[in-house]
Structure 1
Amino acid sequence: MSKKEITEAIERIRSYMEQQNRPYSVNDIFMNLHKEIGKTACQKAIDQLVSDGVLREKSYGKQKVYVYDQNHFPSLDEEQLKAMDARIVELTEAIKEKEKLCSEVEVKLRGLSSSLTTEEAQKKIAETEVAVETMQKKLKDLQENQVLVSKEEKDKVNKDSENMLKMWRKRRRMTVDILDAIMEGYPKTKKVLYEEIGIETDEDVGITMPKM
């Protein structure tokens, strides 16, 4: 870098550190200035500012941070400090109010975002009206005892019922045969056997097998 560029870098970093008045590392300054000053040039400018007594250097292990020397700021009297403290409290309260307002606005925004648009609402109303009309017709048919099940559907239900009943009878008969075979060598009563195995009969659960 030319001498002019180094001078400009020193002045820019000096001005930035004065305005921010907070500690930064070399990398912080490099990034905060959007990399417009090279990292090596940043370090050279900072070293010069430290040498000139404009910046103060603090080491934390291998990390070094730099801050604007507070002696370059005009001293404040007690009244000015009190005024600044009062202003800080005032601004803090203002920030809290703004944050509260932002939270309320965000809640409203989320509510609006989850609401239906006018077009979506109209479509939903139309779909609901069709569904209501269909249900009303079905209710009317039921009230008038109209046949709502086709013959094919009814035949299928009856056939399925007969098949299930046959399967029930078959399995019940197989179970009874097995239990009777066990009873031939079992020293206790059938009731005790059922209790030990954990068997419930149709009668135990109040079920009567339909007649075919």
Structure 2
Amino acid sequence: MVKPKKAPAAKGDDAEQMVLDYLKKTNRPYSANDISSNLHGAVTKVIAQKVLGNLVEKTEVCCKPYGKQSVYVINQDQFESPSQEELNDMDVKIDELKKEIDGYKEKNRQLTSELTTLNNSLTNDQCEERIKTLTEQNKKYEERLEELRSGTKKFSVDDAKLIDDKFERNRKFWKQRKRMFDEIVSTMLENIDMKKNVFEDEELGIERDPVDINEDPLKNL
């Protein structure tokens, strides 16, 4: 396949007008190399340097040396200076945009935190498997608890301490997971018009544990 020939670089007045139009459009300082690169080689660096010198002589462009390099910007005298009222309007607009940016930053922080929480949470399949395992364990614990309640099985002081320690660890984990769940639900409810109990019951099918997380379930045994 034959590649199309690249258009020849502009020269003379064409190159000068191209550079001038670019500086007017962007109204930013550039070196000759920057201009040639940004124009994708339509004006070579050598020609760009030459036409920039001509534009400086015509006072259409200003030149500022920086070490071994010079930067060029369109002469600002050709632009109409804004009035004080326009400057005040700009200040108001800037303040509004700053507040808007702050709002987006805060929203981004909240969403990032929510995403981190969700990424660190179990998947639906993992939750189902975990529920199945815990349900089986809970059934065994209930059977053992029933034996202890009936007095058919005795246990030592060490057994009692072991049970208490395990209970405290599990209750701590329970509180942590409940707080995480409540935070996620609260975040979701901010964007939908639905009461918390309706959302949990009808949408999620969540059945709340009747025991208070701050209450010892074994105190009445």
TM-score of the superposed pair, with normalisation by structure 2: 0.51
Shift of 1:42: 1.5
From 62, 69, 74, the equivalent of 1:68 is: 74
Shift of 1:86: 0.9
Is the contact made by 2:31 and 2:70 (CA closer than 8 Å) also made in structure 1? Answer: yes
Ranges in structure 1 where 5+ consecutive residues have no aligned partner: 148-212
From 52, 65, 89, the equivalent of 1:46 is: 52
Structure 2 Cα separation of the partners of residues 121 and 91 of structure 1: 45
Aligned residue runs from structure 1 range 1-212, under 5 A: 5-74=11-80, 76=81, 80-114=82-116, 116=118, 121-143=123-145, 144=147
Classify the secondary structure of the residue corresponding to 1:57.
strand
Structure 2 Cα separation of the partners of residues 46 and 33 of structure 1: 14
Aligned residues: CA RMSD:
3.2
**Partner of residue 162, structure 1:** none
Shift of 1:15: 1.6
Structure 1 Cα separation of the partners of residues 9 and 136 of structure 2: 87
TM-score of the superposed pair, with normalisation by structure 1: 0.53
Change in 2 beyond 3 A, CA 1:109/1:8: farther
Name the larger-Rg structure.
1
Change in 2 beyond 3 A, CA 1:122/1:70: closer
1:37-65 deviation per Cα after TM superposition (whole angstroms, max 9, x unaligned): 32222212212212322112222332212
Classify the secondary structure of the residue corresponding to 1:37.
coil
Structure 1 Cα separation of the partners of residues 129 and 43 of structure 2: 64
**Partner of residue 206, structure 1:** none
Aligned length: 141
Q: Which amino acid aligns with 2:30?
A: Y
Structure 1 Cα separation of the partners of residues 95 and 13 of structure 2: 42
